[in-house]
Amino acid sequence: MRTIPAGEFKARCLRVMEEVKKYRTAVVITKKGRPVAKLVPPDAPATDVFGCMAGTARIVGDIEAPVLTAEAWKAMGRGAAGRQARRPRARRASR
């Protein structure tokens, strides 16, 4: 960590700030040999999860059209509500 007097920091402020940014090292600013301030590089910006995948997907075809036709749906044994058609259960013989 580098130490610099306040008068020198005042004269070279912009240069010292660029060095802190470039080399990512802190600088302690002193007055009469006592530390009064510390110039540190900023933290790296946090990446936001929201929107990180924007523009990576592509829609192909009609997304509103049904996947199965009504005939194919009925052929699968589905009822009007979309449930599997129930079959009657076999009864157990009582003991």
Burial class (CB in 10 A: 0-12, 13-18, 19+), 30: middle
Tell me if the pTM is above 0.85. no
Going by pLDDT thresholds of 50, 70 and 90, the confidence category of residue 79 is low
Query: Each residue of 13-55: pLDDT tens digit?
Result: 999 999 999 999 999 999 999 999 999 999 888 778 888 888 8
In CATH, the number for domain 2-39 is 3.40.1620
- Look-up of token digits 């997907």: 57
Please report the pLDDT score of residue 87 as a whole number.
65
The Cα 31–Cα 39 span in angstroms is 14
The whole-number pLDDT of residue 18 equals 96
Mean pLDDT over all residues of the chain?
Answer: 84
